[in-house]
Amino acid sequence: MNTKLLETFVELAHTPHLRKLAERLHATPSALSMRMKNLEEQLGVELFTSDNKMLSLTEEGRRLLPYAEAAISSLDDFLSAATQLSGIGGVVRIGLIETAVYTLLPELVKRTKTELPNVSVTWVVGLTADLVEQLNKGELDLVLSLDKQPQSPYAVSEKLLTLSTKWIGKPGLVDNLADESFIFSHQILTPMSNTTPSDDAARTVQKLAFKYGISPTTIQLSSSPSISALITLIRNGIGIGVLPAVLVQEHLASGELEILPVTAPPPMVIHRWHLTNAGSPTLGVAELVSQVALEQEGCHE
């Protein structure tokens, strides 16, 4: 069981107002509700009842609360003692896609320095296929990539983040938003070709072309191996791009870019990969990655 679920249960028990707690934790009410639903399903009991957006502990919830608080306290003590005794240290080589640089890496580096001070993190930014190959060769310890199965029976994975993708453009670039066919009058920009996000975007474009009777030969479909380059192209009005909106949230907030009303491709999913025989430093960093991702899940809806 993920300890973050227990921590959210305890937090909600003491602050039984979803919106207030969500603001304090920098999450969304729906994300917190999903965590509690997950925990209740795992336990097989109802922990809260809801009335006018206020939560009340059920009888089962009141009985389980002290155990949850004790479990969290004991785990904190255990991890603290283990760290002191083991002196976990070493270098962890992380391979990650550019999207993970934008979303996970800053907080991961900060948390590693604080919670695993004897662990040094180095990283390589690359494409999923290359990173997975390096993991299988033992050249990387941990990979944060798209959902691609490493060709090794000794690799394990965990889903970290699901990022909603949107069609993004420069305001004023499109004159008529009456129907989705306007995208075919512009250059369509996608992430690196032969990757899951690019393939998903291409399939979405093909379905729209069929819907509006657009000849495939007239579609201007281009790709970029770099998210930064893709964002620059969109900002310069070169075309309309498809990517996770969180990667351009500052540009959206400032009005420099806007989300366009076009059917979005499936979300981008980032996974965590490491080998089953990974050492303590790698497992420690991997757990931190999962915690960071869980804390961010409500921010990228």
pTM for the model: 0.67
What whole-number distance in Å separates Cα of residue 214 and Cα of residue 193? Answer: 22
Q: How do residues 32-65 score in pLDDT, each as one tens digit? A: 888 888 888 888 899 988 876 678 889 998 999 9
Q: How do residues 147-190 score in pLDDT, each as one tens digit? A: 766 667 778 888 888 899 999 999 988 777 777 888 888 899 98
Topology at the third CATH level for domain 88-160+269-299 = D-Maltodextrin-Binding Protein; domain 2 (3.40.190)
**Which CATH class, in words, describes the domain spanning 3-85?**
mainly alpha
Q: What is the pLDDT of residue 153?
A: 74
Q: What is the pLDDT along the chain (301 residues), one digit of tens a residue?
A: 667 788 888 888 888 787 887 777 667 788 888 888 888 888 889 998 887 667 888 999 899 999 888 888 887 776 666 555 455 668 899 999 999 998 999 999 988 888 888 888 899 998 888 888 898 888 999 999 987 666 677 788 888 888 999 999 999 887 777 778 888 888 999 887 778 888 888 899 999 999 889 988 889 988 888 889 999 999 999 999 999 998 998 999 999 999 998 988 999 889 999 988 888 889 889 989 988 888 877 555 5
Domain spans of the chain?
3-85, 88-160+269-299, 165-266
Domain 165-266 has CATH 3.40.190.290: no
Q: What does pLDDT average to over the chain?
A: 85
**88-160+269-299 shares its CATH topology with 165-266:** yes
Q: What percent of the chain has pLDDT over 70?
A: 90
